[in-house]
Amino acid sequence: MSAAEDPRRLDLDDLRVRAFGERGGAVDDSIPELAEADPDLLGIALVTVDGATRASEQADVKISIQSAVKPFLFALALQDHGSDALDRLGIEPTGEAFDAIKLESGTGRPPNPMVNAGALLTAALVDGDDAEARSRRILAGLSAFAGRDLRVSERIAENEHLLGDRNHALAHLMRAEGTLEVGADDAVAVYARACAVLVDARDLAVMGATLAAGGRNPVTGADVVGAAVARDVISVMATCGVYDGSGRWMRRVGVPAKSSVSGAIVLAAPGVLGAAVVSPPLDAQGTSVRGHAVSAALSEELGLHAFGVPSH
Ligand code: GLN
């Protein structure tokens, strides 16, 4: 049986070694902890929707989740608010950078939940009477997606909060537009804590697999979100998950995914598997260069491209 028929047979360490040939990109320097990342870190993991797990060397090295948290914040907001959350923000790709200071014209809503404006809002929509309660609910929700108790790096959360000037600007802009109902500083603090959750490739692969399995964690068996929520989240990952690189990603990899400045990428192939790659050097859109290459190879070897037809 070939790897294309059975993902459990894929040799992730071989894939990993091949990816070292890919040398471009630069590590993010928005906060000291990201600037200090090891450019040679490379972890790969995949988890099928029936819970089989494969992991490469370094798949257990922890990094901050950063923007790879956005699909899961969107999922929790949808779970807590139902379709009301969908009225509060757009779902259209922007063709702009993740931190663009721009809201939907006419409505003042964030353009989609995968850019910073949208994630500031989805984090604020999660149930909880105050910032602390929302942060607790988010951490519990992310832990359910990952199937283990995750924790926050306090130093990273603090620096994200302190140094996230564009996020403060976006929160104030959304307050001015009447889109954000909680205080601007609280919104940034909750989002910053969500970005500072520590995960490894294995955790992210389980999180992606939970979406791919329709909201049920295939490792723990827990129902984390409903199937309709998981479908909505994966749809928006497909169109907006890699920001202004989403078109290029969809053509080359063809699997809905979310990138992040820590170099993590989480992928969800509905009904098949979740996967993750962690490698810090980024391209101009803030997507891991090796992560992109490994994802393309995974897609190719496992026949995961959403629009590909097996050649005859
Ligand atoms: N910490 C980042 C921010 O909000 C997350 C961005 C990202 O990973 N693209 O600015």
**Taking the domains of the chain in order of start, what are their residue ranges?**
7-302
- Answer whether 217 contacts ligand 1 (Cβ < 6 A): no
- Give the CA angle between residues 255, 194, 127 to the nearest 5°: 100
Side-chain-side CA neighbours of residue 302 (13 Å): 28
Count other C-beta atoms under 10 Å from residue 53's C-beta: 18
pLDDT value of position 268: 98
Give the span between the Cα atoms of 69 and 291, in whole angstroms: 16
pLDDT digits (tens, 9 = 90+) for 233-267: 999 999 999 999 999 999 999 999 999 999 999 99
- Answer whether 98 contacts ligand 1 (Cβ < 6 A): yes
pLDDT value of position 218: 98
Cα of 10 from ligand 1 centre, angstroms:
31
Name the CATH superfamily housing domain 7-302.
DD-peptidase/beta-lactamase superfamily (3.40.710.10)
Give the span between the Cα atoms of 103 and 71, in whole angstroms: 19
Close Cβ partners of 147 (under 8 Å, ≥ 6 residues apart): 203, 206, 210, 217, 219, 220, 222
Residues of the chain with pLDDT under 50: 1-2
pLDDT value of position 1: 39
Q: Is pTM, for the whole model, over 0.85?
A: yes
pLDDT value of position 310: 76
Question: Which of 160, 190, 244 most suits a substitution to test ligand 1, by most atoms within 8 Å of the C-beta?
Answer: 160
Ligand 1 atom with least separation from CA of 286 = 9
Cα of 41 from ligand 1 centre, angstroms:
19
pLDDT value of position 10: 87
Cα of 192 from ligand 1 centre, angstroms:
9
Nearest CA to ligand 1 atom 6: 67
Give the span between the Cα atoms of 27 and 306, in whole angstroms: 30
- In what order do the strands lie in the sheet containing 264-269? 53-55, 43-48, 273-278, 264-269, 257-259
Beta partners for 259? 265
- Answer whether 116 contacts ligand 1 (Cβ < 6 A): yes
Conformation bin of residue 273: beta by default, left when phi > 0, alpha when psi is -120 to 50: beta
Give the span between the Cα atoms of 169 and 173, in whole angstroms: 6
Side-chain-side CA neighbours of residue 242 (13 Å): 29
Give the span between the Cα atoms of 237 and 218, in whole angstroms: 20
Instruction: Fill in the amino acid letter for 285.
Output: Q
- Which segments of 127-277 does DSSP mark as H helices, in order? 131-146, 154-163, 165-176, 184-195, 201-212, 227-240, 246-252
pLDDT value of position 259: 98
Give the span between the Cα atoms of 293 and 303, in whole angstroms: 15
Q: Are the C-beta atoms of 7 and 54 separated by less than 8 Å?
A: yes
Cα of 308 from ligand 1 centre, angstroms:
31
Ligand 1 atom with least separation from CA of 160 = 1
Phi (first) and psi of residue 83, to 5 degrees: -70, -15
Nearest CA to ligand 1 atom 4: 116
